[in-house]
């Protein structure tokens, strides 16, 4: 059995990690880290775990944790892991980081968008961007994985085949994305109060959202060119889910058959990416509670643009599920272990 430690186990992503790992045949959770709830029973924080998890929440001492487990998940705010990580820790344990600390390869870009100094840039180059469908072989050899963001996972996987095959103008991309409120975390914020969110939809982080450079960087790797795009997220009154709708100009001569062939080329053998039937648009309800990504497209011949659509559960494929998928690859487990979660409906 692989021993697991979770730092940030009482946030939404951390709680989802616990839920998923409780059904994983190859692991045992040894450390439920939570700075806010030290010495409190885990089920007292999440009552759904009553008589399922009897462990007590512990502190976030990563050096002590590295001595006790084989892999650490850090479901923590930006800057936490970067401020503590050193070679002594990485020599003892593998890490899957759910923050943005090691996702962006250019430290100046990271510091510009996140407004904090990166404390351990020496590990950025080594860190593998954990988008399994794209970087699977690199993840298998990694000791530090940067788990992608939720908006980025949905946006990149929705656009990736057309970027990789050179079918779209990469500087014509506009992404309109919508997320449930769990994406903002469990901390108390006025903007997330019921009366603020219910019966409301709003854009935020317009022209400034932190996931923008992550999407641009990864699509740049796919297309082999510098990418600049518009990304606008919206908050919608639901618990879970992300729907990304991306628009791009098709290159001359690109047909619907070529676009469909690109999606099939990259995703026909991918367990967790479902390319929907023609004219079926993804819905968040169809992936809720699962590690699936549903994608599809429509070509607007009038404007010569393609509308690419993707839907995920932001807490599963957008966070904890993808983190477990990365762990499975890192330890040579079946990639789907613990993740064959049937979407909940309704």
What are the residue numbers of the active site?
150
What is residue 298's three-state secondary structure?
strand
| Stretch (H or E) spanning 158 | helix 150-164
53: CB partners within 8 A, 6+ apart: 18, 22, 29, 32, 42, 43, 46
Strand ranges inside 70-214, DSSP E: 71-74, 94-97, 128-129, 144-146, 174-179, 202-203
DSSP letter at 319 equals: I
Tokens of 125: 């180059």
- N-term to C-term CA, the chain: 35
**Count of C-beta atoms within a 10 Å radius of residue 221:** 17
Euclidean distance between CA atoms 134 and 4, whole angstroms = 25
């Amino acid at each position: 059995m692989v021993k697991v430690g979770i730092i940030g186990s009482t946030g939404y992503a951390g709680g989802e990690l616990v839920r998923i790992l409780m059904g994983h045949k190859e692991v045992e959770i040894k450390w439920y880290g939570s700075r806010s709830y030290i010495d409190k029973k885990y089920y007292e924080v999440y009552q759904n775990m009553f008589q399922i998890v009897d462990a007590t929440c512990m502190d976030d001492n990563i050096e002590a944790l590295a001595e006790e487990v084989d892999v650490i998940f850090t479901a923590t705010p930006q800057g936490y892991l970067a401020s503590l990580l050193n070679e002594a820790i990485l020599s003892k344990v593998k890490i899957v980081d759910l923050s943005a600390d090691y996702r962006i390869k250019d430290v100046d870009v990271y510091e510009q968008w996140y407004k904090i100094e990166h404390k351990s840039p020496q590990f950025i180059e080594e860190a593998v961007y954990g988008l399994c469908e794209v970087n699977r072989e690199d993840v298998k050899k990694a000791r530090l994985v940067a788990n992608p963001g939720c908006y980025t996972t949905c946006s990149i996987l929705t656009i990736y085949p057309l970027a990789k095959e050179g079918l779209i103008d990469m500087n014509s991309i506009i992404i309109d994305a919508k997320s449930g409120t769990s994406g903002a975390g469990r901390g108390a914020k006025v903007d997330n109060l019921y009366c603020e969110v219910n019966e409301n939809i709003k854009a935020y982080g317009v022209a400034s959202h932190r996931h923008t450079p992550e999407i641009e960087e990864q699509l740049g790797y796919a297309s082999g060119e510098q990418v600049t795009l518009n990304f606008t997220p919206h908050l919608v009154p639901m618990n879970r889910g992300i729907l990304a709708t991306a628009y791009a100009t098709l290159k001359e001569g690109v047909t619907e058959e070529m676009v469909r062939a690109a999606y099939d080329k990259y995703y026909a053998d991918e367990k967790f990416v479902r390319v929907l039937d023609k004219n079926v648009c993804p819905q968040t309800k169809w992936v809720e509670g699962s590690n699936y990504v549903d994608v599809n497209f429509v070509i607007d011949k009038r404007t010569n643009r393609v509308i690419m659509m993707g839907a995920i559960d932001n807490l599963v494929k957008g966070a904890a599920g993808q983190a477990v998928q990365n762990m499975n690859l890192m330890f040579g487990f079946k990639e789907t272990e613990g993740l064959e979660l049937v979407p909940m409906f309704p």
